[in-house]
Amino acid sequence: GLGEHVDYWNGLGWADPFSSALFSKRQQDYATSISHSRGTYTPQLVVDGKEEVIGSDEGEVHQAISRAAAVQKATMHIAADLPSSGDAFQVKVSVAIPPEVTIPGASSVMIAVTEDNLASDVRRGENSGRHLRHTAVVRKLVTLGQLKTGLRQWSGNTSIAAAPQWKRADLKVIGFLQEQGRGDIVGAGWTNVTQPGDQAISRATSEKDPVLGR
């Protein structure tokens, strides 16, 4: 899952420290590309980039995930390591699209850096006075490259600066392949960020893995 904190509630007198106008824009884009969309709201869960559900409706969420899990996906392998002599980690990505997966046009190769075990003390608004805990908060979202129409494989790498406040042990790098235009997500993979002496933990998407975001 990707926790994309929107910023349009910040005018209530308390600003979400993890919010970004980029995530508000992504939510607005989904509202125009998803069929029968109910618009933008919170909490909103977008599954595989093509179906939105109310995040607090457990039954509806499980049904959406089950539908997405039945769809064959592209495979993405991710590796990320943080050298001992720098504040930027190196990310490598490879994509393979099996013959049974059809992608009608070009797709963007996206990279998200997420952090677990975060919290915020809400000062104003509907949740005023609450201590909220957060998982998979998106700290950085970048477009790594493009898979052109008709291509079935892609590989690339990039360097991502690590902010001082990010807790290295709680970071993951999630890659996903998103259709340009419609916004459907057709594959994903993830890894933790390894440092010298660490053992990498990673997983590529299989045909049973929906990709979640909000």
What is the full per-residue pLDDT of the chain (214 aa) written as tens digits? 899 999 999 988 889 999 999 999 999 999 999 988 899 999 999 999 999 999 999 999 999 999 998 999 999 999 998 776 668 889 999 999 999 998 989 999 999 999 999 999 998 888 889 999 999 999 999 999 999 999 999 999 999 998 989 998 899 999 999 999 889 999 999 998 876 555 556 566 654 455 555 4
Element (H, E) at 202: strand 202-204
pLDDT for the residue numbered 168: 86
**Helix/strand/coil for 76:** strand
pLDDT for the residue numbered 196: 55
Backbone angles phi, psi at 25, to 5 degrees: -65, -40
Backbone angles phi, psi at 158, to 5 degrees: -155, 170
pLDDT for the residue numbered 207: 45
pLDDT for the residue numbered 214: 45
pLDDT for the residue numbered 212: 52
| Terminal CA-CA length for the chain | 8
Element (H, E) at 46: strand 44-47
Determine how many CB atoms are found less than 10 A away from the CB of residue 5.
19
pLDDT for the residue numbered 203: 65
**Helix/strand/coil for 31:** helix
